[in-house]
Structure formats: structure tokens, C-alpha cells
Amino acid sequence: MGTSRVGRAVIAGARGLYLSVVSLAGGIIFFVNAVLAIAFIPLGIGVLTTPVVLTGLRKHANLRRVQAGEWSDVHIPIPYRPFPPNMRRGLMGQVDRCHLMLKDPATWRDLQWLLVDMTAGFIVAILAPSLLLYMLYGWVLALGVWEPIYNAGGGEWYAFIHVTSQTTANYAAALGTGLFVVGLFLNPVLIRTHFRMARGLIAPTTSMRERELALRVDHLTETRHDAVDTSAAELRRIERDLHDGAQARLVAMGMDLGTIEALVESNPAKAKELLAKARQNSGEALTELRDLVRGIHPPVLAERGLGDAVKALALRLPVTTEVDVELRGRAEAPVESAAYFAVSETLTNAIKHAGAERIWVDLHHTDGMLRIAVTDNGKGGAAVGTGSGLSGIERRLGTFDGVLAVSSPVGGPTMVTMEIPCELS
């Protein structure tokens, strides 16, 4: 019986003690508060308290999901329906949130789980520390404590053994030792059983998975349409910029060269003047073409990656911008491009609309997710809405299953957080 088995059993016992306390106390607290909050909805108070209580319950359940995966390798997916990104704020937004949470079947499954968790879940969890610790009391009785107890009150019960003599006290010690040995083998199983019971109640059901899959298909269809529309708009912009900019200058330069050819002998001074103008037009056309190419895909992005591209972008801004990058590799080119232009659009909004004097950009990659935060000290009040620049960023990120979150109280500061699932290479 190796030390590793004893160590695992002791760790499982400690976790069982923690889970038993959290299951009983947390189950009672969250269940009672949730029932009261829902019951007060007709009075109006529950509309404000129910989302708060249910959000706390979801955090409680999500913590158990994390522990299930880390402690017993039991994977419990999160079944909650996402809130719409353009949800209203204030009182009406709270009403909408309450309505959506109560319509979500996962909410009611969480309440059912609380009932099971504070009863059967508590019993299964408390067995793990009990199997190890109960042995101590058996040995305490065998070491002579049984006698004063017997003299004072007629004996002590240890499980099913009535301890009235040294012999029965020895039986109690032997039984405790046997329970300890059982605990060495059974404790990890008990903890895993506790989490499997939870998985049976708070994991997505088949119907929930089907609904989630349908929503996923709808989301992919919508983002595909958005991607096509964005690509078409980008092509139209490139055509317009070429037509109005570089193409017009090249046409003018061609006309000037024709005039120069006619005047080069008859009026050299005029020809020299037109030649200088043609040279100027060629330089401006080259600059516009470079800007156009940079707008399609900046060379620094292709050569040095997202971090350096954002730093280069920050150097061209008229306000102080600090960029903190922690990327141990590079994402796929389409993801880098989407992230770069999302950051670029966000910075443009901060300068044009928020009147920011200082901007902070943070890029890092953790848990398979590229996370970008752009914070400014502007006037705030930004929101994701139809026709806004933030809506365009959200559509761009949605093509890659990315999400956008905005925190922008009136008066500032504004923080725009973007997350894109990806792996670095």
C-alpha cells in the first residue's frame, strides 16, 4: 500500500470535507434565496434580485464544474444560454435579464441540483473524510478511554459495536482500521461519484445540446453572411480608393506626359514644369497605393506578427498609447488580421469619438484564447448598437467565434475586451 495511495486518499478526504460543507451550506443559502427572489417577482422586487441571485448560483455551479474537471477528470459542460450582445441597460435591461434567465432550462436544473447536492451529494462527500477520521476515535476508545465512559454512562457505541470492555474496544479499533483501509481505496471513487451526480443534473441534456447546435448553426450562418458582406464592402472600398485616388493621379500623370511630349521642343520651360508636376503625382500615387496595401494587410503584420503590428500602429497615433504584449507564438493569418483590424477600429473610435488622451492595449494568450483589452480615458458612453463601429468589430470577430464586451460608463473610462479562440504556433 504505497505512499501515493495514502496521499491520494488523504487529499480526497480533505476535498470531501470541503465539498460536504459547501454542498450543505451553499445548497441551503442559494436555494432559499433563489426561491424567495422568484416568489417576490410579482411584487416587483424579485425582478431586481432574481438575476443577482441566479448569477451567483451560476458562479457556484461553474466552480463545481471546474473542480470536477481538475479533481476527478469529470467534464461538465456549461449549458447556459448566452445573453444577446445588444441587451438594454438599466431597469429594462434587468427585466430582460430576469426573463431570459427564467426561460433558460439550465436555471431550473441548477435548482434541482441544489436539492440533490445538499442531501445525497453531502452524504457522498462526507463519507470520504469520515472513513479516515473515524479510525482515530476507535483507537482512542481502545487506548482506555472506553472505561471512564462505561463507568459514567454504561458504554459507548462505535458504529454497530457496543463498547463495554477492552475486547469490544479492540473490536472498535479494528473496525476503524478497516474503514481506514477501505477509505484508501474508496475515497477517490467517492469524490468522483459526487461530481458524476452533479454532472447528471447540471450538464446539458440531449435536447439542450440539440438546441445549442441549432443556435450554433444559426450563428455560423449569420457570421458567414456578415463575412461575405464585409468582404464585399472591403472590395468596394478598395475599388473606390483606387478609382478616386491612385487611378486618377496616374491618368493625370499620363495626360501630363503627353503634353510634355508635345512641348519638349517648342516650350522646354513649360515641359519642365509639367514634368515636375508629373513626378509629384507619381509620388502621391505611390503613397496612396502603399496606404491601400497597408489597409488590406500591413506588411509588418505578415512579417513580425500581431504584437509588433499593433505596436507599430500605436506609434502612428496622435495620443500616448501603451502596448503590452504577451504572445508566445503566432496565430493563423486570418485570426491575426481580424484581431489587428479590430484593434485598429477600436483605437480609431477612442480617438475620434471618445476624445481619449491616453490609451492602453493589452494582448495575451491563455487557455486557448487570444484576449485583447483596449482601455482609454475618454468620455465613455460607448455601446454596441446597430450601425456603430463596435457592431462591425463584433461581426468581424464573430466569424472566428470571437466575442466582444464593452464597459463604458458615462464619463469613462472605456474598456473594450475581445476574445478569439485560437492556438499559437
From 202, 227, 242, give the residue that closes a domain.
202
Least confident range from 337-341, 396-400, 417-421: namely: 396-400
Q: Based on the domain organization, do 103 and 248 belong to the same domain? A: no
From 172, 202, 232, give the residue that closes a domain.
202
Q: Based on the domain organization, do 408 and 345 belong to the same domain? A: yes
**Amino acid 344: pLDDT:** 84
Nearest to 194 by CA among 119, 87, 276, 134: 119
Give pLDDT tens digits for 128-182. Answer: 999 888 888 888 888 888 778 877 877 788 888 888 888 888 888 898 888 888 8
Q: Based on the domain organization, do 159 and 285 belong to the same domain? A: no
pLDDT band at 276 (very low <50, low <70, confident <90, very high): confident
Give pLDDT tens digits for 331-353. Answer: 888 888 888 888 888 888 888 88
As for how many domains the chain has, the answer is 3
From 202, 229, 250, give the residue that closes a domain.
202
Cα distance between residue 78 and residue 202, in whole Å:
8
Give pLDDT tens digits for 25-55. Answer: 999 999 999 999 999 988 888 888 999 999 9
CATH number at residue 386: 3.30.565.10
Q: Supply φ then ψ for residue 103, to 5 degrees.
A: -80, -15
Mean pLDDT of 190-219: 76
Q: Based on the domain organization, do 15 and 142 belong to the same domain? A: yes
Q: Based on the domain organization, do 277 and 326 belong to the same domain? A: no
pLDDT band at 408 (very low <50, low <70, confident <90, very high): confident
Q: Which range marks the domain in which residue 71 is found? A: 3-202
**Amino acid 396: pLDDT:** 76
Q: Based on the domain organization, do 131 and 226 belong to the same domain? A: no
Q: Based on the domain organization, do 122 and 176 belong to the same domain? A: yes
Q: Based on the domain organization, do 20 and 77 belong to the same domain? A: yes
Q: Based on the domain organization, do 323 and 219 belong to the same domain? A: no
Is-contact 353 381, C-beta < 8 A?
no
Q: Which residue has the higher pLDDT, 278 or 344?
A: 344
Q: Based on the domain organization, do 230 and 140 belong to the same domain? A: no
Cα separation values, 264 from 222, 259, 267, 279, Å = 60, 8, 6, 16
Reduce the DSSP state of residue 81 to 3 states and report it.
coil
Q: Based on the domain organization, do 103 and 223 belong to the same domain? A: no
pLDDT at 225 over 90: no
Residue-wise DSSP of 12-39: HHHHHHHHHHHHHHHHHHHHHHHHHHHH
Task: Give residue for cell 434587468.
Answer: 94
Mean pLDDT of 261-282: 72
Q: Based on the domain organization, do 337 and 231 belong to the same domain? A: no
Is-contact 169 142, C-beta < 8 A?
yes
Question: What's at 133, amino acid-wise?
Answer: L
**Amino acid 1: pLDDT:** 46
Q: Is 1 exposed, middle or buried (0-12, 13-18, 19+ CB in 10 A)?
A: exposed
Provide the terminal-to-terminal Cα distance of the chain, rounded to the nearest Å.
44
Query: What would the 3-class secondary structure string for 139-180 be?
Result: HHHHHHHHHHHHHHHCCEEECCEEECCHHHHHHHHHHHHHHH
